[in-house]
Amino acid sequence: MLGGRSLVAPRWRREGHVVNPTTITPYPNGPLLVRGAFALQDEDGEPVPRHRRTIALCRCGLSSIKPLCDGTHKAAGFRTD
């Protein structure tokens, strides 16, 4: 449990460029929002295509597009408290 707070990685440099820190923010009664520089991989280490800068990771376990959130948590009444 993150206690409603974001996890923020420190800024780091890659080939002389400052890369935005990665943040993971728990959305109340919903997914984990991930922003910044990161790579998403499946259980075999294969890259999962990413079409947006921010992604929502399912934490209710009910999504049909895991690991991403598809909004099912709302209909299911998922609660984080």
Q: Is 55 in the site for ligand FES (CB under 6 A)?
A: no
> Would you count residue 31 as binding ligand FES (CB under 6 A)?
yes
CB nearer to ligand FES: pick between 11 and 42:
42
Q: Is 26 in the site for ligand FES (CB under 6 A)?
A: no
For residue 26, say if its preceding peptide bond is cis, omega within 30 degrees of 0.
Answer: no
The reply to whether 69 sits near ligand FES by the rule CB under 6 A is yes
Distances 10 to 32, 36, 48 between C-alpha atoms, Å? 19, 11, 24
Sites of contact with ligand FES (CB under 6 A):
30-31, 58-60, 62-63, 69-73
